[in-house]
Structure 1
Amino acid sequence: MAKRALVSVSDKTGLIDFVQQLVSKGIEIISTGGTKKAIEAAGLPVLSISEITNFPEILDGRVKTLHPAVHGGLLAVRGKKEHMDAISELGIQPIDFVIVNLYPFKETISKPDVAYDEAVENIDIGGPSMLRSAAKNHRSVTVVCDPADYQTVAASLDADNEVPFELKQKLAAKVFRHTAAYDALIADYFTKQVGEEFPEKLTLTYEKKQSLRYGENPHQMAAFYSEPLKNEATIAAAKQLHGKELSYNNIRDADAALGIVKEFTEPAAVAVKHMNPCGIGLGANINEAYDKAYETDPVSIFGGIVALNREVDAELAEKLHSIFLEIIIAPSYTDEAIQVLENKKKNLRLLQVKFTEDKQDFVQYTSVRGGMLVQDLDTKGYEDVKEDVKIVTERKPTDAEMESLKFAWTIVKHVKSNAIALVNNGRMVGMGGGQTNRVGAAKIALEEAGDKTKGAVLSSDAFFPMSDTVEEAAKAGITAIIQPGGSVRDQESIDMCNKYNIAMVFTGMRHFKH
Structure 2
Amino acid sequence: MTKRALIHVEDTDGIVEFAQYLTASGWTILTANKTEELLRKNHVPVTREMALSADIAYAHDISKVITSIVSTSLNSEVSFNQSSELIDGNIYIVCINMDPFYYMDSQRFDIKTCDYRISSILRYAFYNHENVLVLTDPADYKEAMIQLKTDNITPEFRTYIAQKALNLVAAYDAGVAGSLKYNTSQKKYFPTFACYPLKFQSLLKHGTNKQQSAAFYRLPEEKEYSSFANCNYTDLDYALFKDISLSWEILNNLYSNLKTQFTVPSTNVDNYDFTTQFTPLAGTVFTFAIKFGNILGASIATNIVDSYAKTYIYDTQHVEDAILGCSAVIDQNAATKIMEGKFIAIVAPDFTDDAKKIFAQNKNLKLIYSTKQNRSDFEARFVFGGFLIQTNERSLFDHWYIKTKNRPSQIKSDELAFGMLLALKTRSYSAILIKQNAVVGISQGCPSMEKALGEVHYHVTSTTIMHNGNADFNPTDNPIADVLVCDEKIRFGEEIIRLVNLGLSTIIETGGSVDDKELIDFCEEHNVSLIFTGMSHISL
Residue 95 in structure 1 maps to residue 91 in structure 2: yes
CA deviations on 1:465-485 (whole Å, 9 max, x unpaired) are 444442232233322211121
Q: CA deviation at 1:110?
A: 9.0
Q: What code does the residue aligned with 2:422 have?
A: I
1:64 partner SS: helix
**Identity of aligned pairs, percent?**
25
The residue type paired with residue 74 of structure 2 is: R
Determine the structure 1 residue equivalent to 2:153: 163
> What residue number does 1:130 align with?
121
Q: Given the alignment of the two structures, is residue 473 of structure 1 paired with residue 499 of structure 2, yes or no?
A: yes
SS at 1:62's partner residue?
A: helix
Give 1:403's aligned amino acid.
D
1:220 matched to 2:229? The reply is no
SS of residue matched to 1:403: helix
Matched, 1:145 2:136: yes
Written as runs of structure 1 = structure 2, the 5 A alignment for 1:223-234 is: 223-230=215-222, 232-234=224-226
Q: Secondary structure at the match of 2:247?
A: helix
Other-structure match for 2:378: 363
Partners of 2:2 and 2:88 within 8 A in 1: no
Distance, in Å, in 2 between the alignment partners of 1:9 and 1:60 is 21
Q: Deviations over 1:70-120 (max 9, x none)?
A: 435445453599xxxxxxxxx864321111234x6639x699944x5xx32
Q: Which has the higher contact order (CA 8 A, sep 6+)?
A: 2
Partner Cα distance (1:488, 1:30) in 2 = 75
Residue 377 (structure 1) aligns with: 392
- What is the match of residue 412 of structure 1? 423
The question of 1:178 aligning with 2:168 is answered: yes
Q: Is the 8 A contact 1:363 1:374 kept in 2?
A: yes
**What TM-score do the two structures reach when normalised by structure 2?**
0.81
**2:204–2:215 contact (8 Å) kept in structure 1:** yes
In structure 2, how many angstroms separate the alpha carbons of the residues matched to 1:148 and 1:287? 47
Aligned residues of 1:256 and 1:275 also touching (Cα < 8 A): yes
RMSD after superposition: 3.0
Distance in 2 between the 1:294 and 1:318 partners? Answer: 14
- CA 1:244–1:139 in 2, change beyond 3 Å: closer, same or farther? closer
Offset at 1:351? 1.0
* Aligned equivalents of 1:111, 1:256: Cα separation in 2: 23
Q: Work out whether residues 467 and 496 of structure 1, in 8 Å CA contact, stay in contact via their aligned partners in 2.
A: no
Report the CA distance shift for 1:13/1:455 in structure 2 as closer, same or farther (over 3 A): closer
Q: Which amino acid aligns with 1:410?
A: L
* 1:350 to 2:367 alignment: yes
Partner of 1:4: 4
Q: Spell out, residue by residue over 1:294-350, the C-alpha distance to the aligned partner (whole angstroms, 9 max, x if none).
A: 02443465321000011111221122212221111111111111111111x111111
The one-letter code sitting in structure 1 at the alignment partner of 2:366 is: R
Which of 425, 443, 448 matches 2:436?
425
Which residue in 2 is equivalent to 1:438? 449
For residues 93 and 227 of structure 1, do their structure 2 counterparts lie closer, same or farther at Cα, with a shift above 3 Å needed? same
Determine which of 328, 331, 344 is the counterpart of 1:313: 331
SS of the residue corresponding to residue 350 of structure 1 reads strand
- Per the alignment, do residues 228 and 462 of structure 1 end up closer, same or farther by CA in structure 2, a change over 3 Å counting? same
Q: Go from structure 1 to structure 2 and tell me whether the alpha carbon gap of 1:256 and 1:34 turns closer, same or farther (over 3 Å shift).
A: closer
2:199 to 207, 215, 220: 207
Query: Which whole-Å CA distance do the structure 1 matches of 2:405 and 2:120 have between them?
Result: 71
AA of the residue aligned to 1:158: K
Which sits farther off after the overlay, 36-45 or 183-192? 36-45
After TM superposition, the score normalised by the length of structure 1 is 0.85
2:59 pairs with 1:62: yes
Query: SS of the counterpart of 2:62?
Result: coil
Kept in 2: contact 1:76–1:94 (CA 8 A): yes
Which of 78, 89, 103 is equivalent to 2:74? 78
Stretches of structure 2 lacking an aligned partner (at least 5 in a row): 78-86, 260-283, 465-478
Q: Does 1:506 align with 2:498?
A: no
Measure how far apart 1:372 and its partner are. 1.9
C-alpha offsets along residues 401-447 of structure 1, whole Å, 9 cap, x if unaligned? 33322322222222111110000112001111111111111111111
Correspondence for 2:342 among 309, 324, 342: 324
What is the aligned partner in structure 1 of residue 413 from structure 2? 402
Moved more, 438-447 or 389-398: 389-398
**What's the CA shift for 1:277?**
0.7
Instruction: Report if aligned partners of 1:296, 1:430 keep a CA contact under 8 Å in 2.
Output: no
Sort the Cα spacing of 1:505 and 1:247 in 2 relative to 1 into closer, same or farther, 3 A: same
- Asked if residue 496 in structure 1 is aligned to residue 488 in structure 2, the reply is no
Aligned length: 485
Aligned partner (choices 223, 227, 238) of residue 229 of structure 2: 238
In 1: Cα distance, 2:48 partner to 2:369 partner: 49
1:123–1:105 Cα change, 3 Å: farther
Q: For each residue in 1:30-65, what CA deviation from the matched residue of structure 2 results, as whole angstroms up to 9, or x when unmatched?
A: 345665566566655544547xx9xx9984232222
Structure 1 unaligned runs (5+)? 82-90
Q: Given residue 203 of structure 1, which amino acid in structure 2 is its aligned partner?
A: C
CA distance in 2, matches of 1:59, 1:244: 44
Would the alpha carbon gap of residues 48 and 493 (structure 1) be closer, same or farther in structure 2, given more than 3 Å must change?
A: same
In 2, the alpha carbon distance for the partners of 1:303 and 1:93 equals: 63
Look up the SS of the partner of 2:288 in the other structure: strand
Letter of the aligned partner of 1:21 in structure 2? Y
Q: Which residue of 1 aligns with 2:241?
A: 251
The one-letter code sitting in structure 2 at the alignment partner of 1:417 is S
Change in Cα spacing, 1:44 to 1:110, as seen in structure 2 (3 Å) is farther
CA contact (8 A) 1:261 1:270 kept: no
The aligned residue for residue 183 of structure 2 is 193
Paired with 1:80 and 1:16, the residues of 2 have a C-alpha distance of: 29
AA paired with 2:6? L
> 328-337 vs 142-151, which deviates more?
142-151
User: Separation in 2 of the partners of 1:259 and 1:34?
Assistant: 38
- The change in CA–CA distance for 1:457 and 1:141 in structure 2 (over 3 A counts) is same
